[in-house]
Amino acid sequence: MKKTLVSALTAALVVGAASTTFAAANPFSDVPADHWAYDAVSQLAADGVIEGYGDTTFRGNQSITRYEMAQMVAKAMAKTDVSAADKALIDKLAAEFSDELNNLGVRVNNLERNADMVKWNGEARYTYKSLRTEHADDNGKDRDNSDKLLLRLEPSAEVNDHWHVNARLDATTEMSDDKGSGENHDEDKIDLKRIYAQGDYKNFQVKLGKLGFETPEDGLVFDNDENAFSGAQVAFGNNIKTTLMAGRFDVDDQMGNRKLLHGFDKDNTGDTANFQGVTVQYDAPQASKLTGGVGYYHLNSNDFVGLKDDFNKGETYTNGKNDVDNANIWSANLGYRFDKTNALSGAYANNTSADNLDKSWQVVYNYKGAEPANKGTWGAYAAYRYLGTYTSIFGTEDAQVVGAKGWEIGANYAPFHNVLATANYFNGKGIDSDRDADTLWGRVQFFF
């Protein structure tokens, strides 16, 4: 890792200047008195943290090595007249450059090093959803509203230079059930959603445990945020990346409520599925504006038995229900970035084991996009989605509805630093029922 000396100066300033009010005389000929870093450079030189070069120059725009940065950290560690806040920052820098410091003969306390190895991220969010579906007799609509709160904690612990242990803990509650009892009582729960070890090497990554997985169809087949499986995932390659995954998939926890417009009923689930998948994806932002790839996913579960006659084709049936428990889903995706603000993408998927509702596809146009860390950023999108029930079995259901086809629009905005507000609207019809369906969906997220 290299840093410019101006960047390093900021860190060295915090750990070496010790809140000095007036800087000493500047010994460097290439740092004029009106330079923004004049006072800091002068004081750090007087404190012996930096020395410059033998020709009286500082060379603030020149890159330095980790070894050179470690030398500055070592000198800062030797200072005793520092504040508690500065001492804490010295300890963090010492943990980062511990190997180089050890080579210099500077010992780093293991407790100080380990304290910086566990990092916590998370979010608190509120989600509102109002789904309205037409009655079968065209006599009005049913409305299903939900107000959910979620607190998510995501710790990450460093094991060594290549391995980390990651986890996700979700606490959720349904706001319509404030007393913690009643028909929505089972919605109030705390779940360990993720816990896995991750090894990162050059053009190679491995994950082991209960982990989330991102598939390139943008929620068409699997919800990238919610879905997880217990097993292993291996990814390798650079511009063309291949990802292999295998394990067990909790059908009951992740299929959701699929009974409003079609045949799935969460009450009849409860099994796990054997799961294998592979994706091959091309994504080279520096070389091309084009992205694309293919994927294949196989699931085997007793929960697929008896759903409908048309879930599996070419098979024998007993008492009008299928006896087959397989899903074989193929997918393809393609995207093009016109510039930094405009992008168009599309995806198609097909469950070759299903006889009906076996296809899903979508086309999405994105404009800009809100960045929670940057206040005032915003974005918008428009999409058309066709979500076949037996292909998008575990697909994303925010505003869109699995088993329906129609238009969706949305926008997001960062009103404050690390705060994101999103609003989406879907309007369409059930694919097999032709019943109207529309959804208003909103979310506010606070990241920390």
Task: List all residues 6 or more positions away from 380 whose beta carbon is below 8 Å from its beta carbon.
Answer: 366, 367, 368, 409, 410, 411, 412
Q: How far apart are CA 220 and CA 167, in angstroms?
A: 25
Q: What pLDDT is stored for residue 115 in this prediction?
A: 54
- Identity of residue 302: N
CATH 2.40.160.10, the chain: domain bounds: 119-447
pLDDT of residue 383: 97
What CATH code would you report for 119-447? 2.40.160.10
Q: In 3-state terms, what secondary structure has residue 147?
A: strand
Provide the pLDDT for residue 144: 84
CA angle 102, 106, 108 (to 5 degrees): 80
Confidence (pLDDT) at 137: 66
**Residue 156 and residue 200: Cα distance in Å, rounded?**
14
* Residue with the two structure tokens 């960045």: 371
Residue 126, SS3? strand
Q: What is the pLDDT of residue 226?
A: 84
Identify the pLDDT of residue 22: 46
What are the backbone angles phi and psi of residue 70, rounded to the nearest 5°? -60, -35
Question: What was the pLDDT predicted at 17?
Answer: 44
> What b/e sequence results for 298-324 when a residue is b if at least 16 CB atoms lie within 10 Å of its CB, and e otherwise?
bbbbebbbbbbebbbeeeeeeeeebeb
Low-confidence ranges of the chain (pLDDT < 70): 1-27, 35-41, 43-44, 46-64, 82-83, 85-86, 103-116, 136-140, 177-188, 252-271, 285-287, 303-324
CA atoms within 13 A on the CB side of 293: 19
Give exposure, 150-180, as e/b (b: 16+ Cβ within 10 Å).
eebebeeebeeeeebbbbbbbebbbeebeee
Residues whose CB falls within 8 Å of the CB of residue 355, separated by 6 or more in sequence, listed in order: 309, 310, 311, 312, 313, 314
Q: pLDDT value at position 14?
A: 47
Q: Say what the pLDDT of residue 390 is.
A: 85
pLDDT attached to residue 62: 66
The pLDDT, as a whole number, for residue 434 is 84
Identify the pLDDT of residue 332.
98
